[in-house]
A and B are shown apart, each in its own frame.
Chain A
Amino acid sequence: MTVSPAASLAASELLPLAVACPLTGAALLAVLGRRLPRSGTDALATAWAAGQLGLVWWLAAATGGAGRTVTWVGGWTPVEGRSVGIVLVADGLGLGLAVLVALLVLAALGYAWRYFEEPERARGHGGGFPALLLLFEAGTTGFALTGDLFNAFVFFELMGVAGYALTGYRVEEPRPLQGALAFAVTGSLAGYLALVGVGLLYARTGELAFAGIARELAGQPADALVTTAAALLCCAMLVKAAAVPFHFWLPDAHAEAPTPVCLLLSGVMVELGLYGLLRVYLTVFSGPGGVPHEVMRGTLIAVGTVTALTGALLCWQQRHLKRLLAFSTVGHMGLFLCGAGILDAEATAGTALYVAGHAGVKGALFCLAGVLLDRHASVDEHGLWGRARDMPLVGVLFAVGGCALAGLPPFGTGLGKSVVEHAAHEDPWLVALFVLVPAVTAGAVLRAAARVFGGAGTKPRERHSGAETTGAGEEPEVSGPRREVPRPMLVVPAVLLAGALAVGLVPALWRYVAAGSVVFQDPAGYGAAVTGVPGGGGTGTAPLPEVAWSLPGVLFGLLSTALAAGCAAGALWGPALRGRLARTARAGADALDRTVVLAVRRQHSGHVGDYVAWLLAGLAALTAVFALWG
């Protein structure tokens, strides 16, 4: 795509609006929300979010996949490569994420159109919910577009604070409060650790822009200070990305947050943690004075593998549907970490498409779980056995979502998976991980769908044993006995699934992501574009990775889906099977359950202190790896 100079100049001038627009909207809604009627507030919020979507879409088109738009806010342009100003840098992947955020915020607002009934109006907080959503949008968009380390911290906290408030939005309920508290304490501790890292880097280099820090670091070999700062920043981003052992807050928060919020938390917020990690690593630490490539690659793939396996294992064990979906997000985050950890343009492009497809699919599944919550005041897979037979359409959408989660072609999840598998030729075992983990998590979703919507298998036990959260007795988020499911609650998940399908079917998007990934993986070109001082490298030098469906990718996608169906069938009808083989398999599964699974589940204690202790252990391990292996 060629971009005219006028459009690129306009894009550079309008870039700060991408953050300012949702901030203004949030302020406006907070003020006007008390005066306007409910429909007026909803209409204003939706119109504002649509405007924001138009703006970031236009910015993405004007910048182009292979371009960069740089804005020194307030005209504090660098002199001889130095500036004390704040810089926004938008490239293909950053703007792509901003578009994804805008789409999901719009979807969440649409879903919430008839979702929360009036209670906040009575308390005098009309407009609070959409205002918080727009605040969250400002934080995430700013985080995706910033080129300044301290600003990254501020946006990290802004999206964090909005996220905590949204998670605990139903302050009358005990459990959302607990989830929000765990989320807020771990999230803000992570933010402060990042700030310590920022302080250390500023002390060493006197710079805050990513490119400026990288230039100063390049002059000397990495020492303890730089290594510590790198470990602190990586740790903070991994907390946001919910990598094991930093993931404990995620199931508590995602399972208890209001459903429209889950859409955003699972769809983009954790993925933004990974984006921030990669962005900071590539632009700041990937040079000679930072963390060597193979150390970062090994760390990310190791952490990703553990995260993927833990997520899949615990996802399979859940009976609380939203918690099940939350652990599936952990599993997929592990895959994204592995994909991104390969650290080349092709794997980055695959991961980006996987993230986009996953956002659509996971959003749709959360929306459908919200329908169950609305109708039956429960998200307990066991208690709901066969009770949703009267909603075949919801059941079909849920099952389709399950297959898409497994990577069924031509959904975007399948395409992203296939591209990463192709890029993983140096570590062929990753392919097995990319087949197995989606299969297990999707198997859990299909199992739940068959039980809840079809009454398949034997009626599971209802009693509640030891270390688990059942999901029964959740308060419905909609008050009032209204027996029709509101139309938006069905339209939004269908549209989200269609979006995930579009990711796998639109070659223009693949080309955009491929070009964006090449630019993303080019720190020298980034530094030159930001400081105005030409360096080595450049966007024209690297070849575009091939991003398209391949035969092995399609076959692996189909294999995952078949395995998922097999897992679900095994869970549903396995207990009724007779014969020695079936008995041995059941005994094996029970032994595994008693030894490994229960020990892992017990760690998820719901106790904030435990989560913080795990966070510190992870930080210590990360620091040791960077210091000793580097």
Chain B
Amino acid sequence: MSALPYLAAGWMLLVGVHGLVTSRNAVHAVGCLTVVQSGTYVLLLAVGYRRGGTAPYFTDIPAGTPVVDPVAQALTLTDVVVGAALTALLLALVLQTAKRHGTTDPDALTGLRG
């Protein structure tokens, strides 16, 4: 198992977080959060990967065929669902923010301080 997928997952996490910290646009920030989340997909799939394994779909393969870990795939799928719900909600909030404040720049949203 090569280290590349793990490095890629770590890189995606870091890049996404960097984008979140420096973002000047809330839509962009939500996108960055999605990048962070994609990092978790890559990590989970890498954890469940098995060299030479096929899809864990047992109806048309002979018993004993090596397959990749179905649990990790189930986790990823659940993660995708969670992510879809979150991204939709966040974008809805950003949309309303744009309507009420006329801006999506976090630097201009200063209603809450101290």
A interface residues, Cβ below 8 angstroms from B = 84, 150, 154, 157, 161, 164-165, 168, 171-175, 177-182, 184-185, 188-189, 191-192, 195-196, 198-200, 202-203, 208, 251-252, 255-256, 314, 317-318, 466-469, 601-602, 604-610, 612-613, 616
Known: A175-B111, A179-B112. A612 touches B17 (CB 8 A): yes
Do the beta carbons of B96 and A195 come within 8 Å of each other? no
A591 and B21 alpha carbons, distance in the complex (Å): 33
Do the beta carbons of A161 and B107 come within 8 Å of each other? no
Which of these, B26, B44, B110, B113, contacts A199 with CB under 8 Å? B44
What are 26 A-B pairs with beta-carbon distances under 8 A? A150-B78, A154-B78, A168-B96, A171-B96, A172-B100, A174-B111, A177-B100, A179-B112, A184-B86, A184-B93, A185-B33, A188-B86, A189-B36, A192-B37, A195-B44, A199-B43, A602-B114, A605-B113, A606-B111, A607-B107, A608-B106, A609-B20, A609-B23, A609-B29, A612-B17, A616-B17
Q: Is the interface of B mostly helix, strand, loop or mixed?
A: helix
A191 and B17 alpha carbons, distance in the complex (Å): 13
Known: A185-B20, A192-B37. A467 touches B97 (CB 8 A): no
B21: chain A residues at CB < 8 Å are 609-610, 612-613, 616
A157 and B36 alpha carbons, distance in the complex (Å): 15
B90 within 8 A of A: yes
- Nearest chain A residue, comparing its CB with the CB of B104: A181
Looking at chain B, what size class is its interface with the partner chain? Answer: 35 or more
Interface residues in B69-114 by Cβ distance below 8 A to A read 71-72, 75, 78-79, 82, 85-86, 89-90, 93-94, 96-97, 100-101, 106-107, 109-114
A447 and B84 alpha carbons, distance in the complex (Å): 45
Min C-beta distance of B67 to chain A, whole Å: 14
A189 and B40 alpha carbons, distance in the complex (Å): 11
- Which among B75, B85, B112 has the greatest number of chain A C-beta atoms within 10 A? B112
A203 and B37 alpha carbons, distance in the complex (Å): 18
Do the beta carbons of A256 and B86 come within 8 Å of each other? no
B13 within 8 A of A: yes
B22 within 8 A of A: yes
A252: chain B residues at CB < 8 Å are 112
A353 and B90 alpha carbons, distance in the complex (Å): 36
A179 and B114 alpha carbons, distance in the complex (Å): 13
B26: chain A residues at CB < 8 Å are 181, 608
Min C-beta distance of B77 to chain A, whole Å: 12
B15 within 8 A of A: no
5 closest Cβ pairs, A-B complex: A468-B114, A606-B112, A174-B100, A601-B114, A467-B114
Do the beta carbons of A161 and B89 come within 8 Å of each other? yes
Q: Interface digits, B11-49 against A, CB 8 Å rule (1 contact, 0 not)?
A: 001000100111100100110010011011001100100
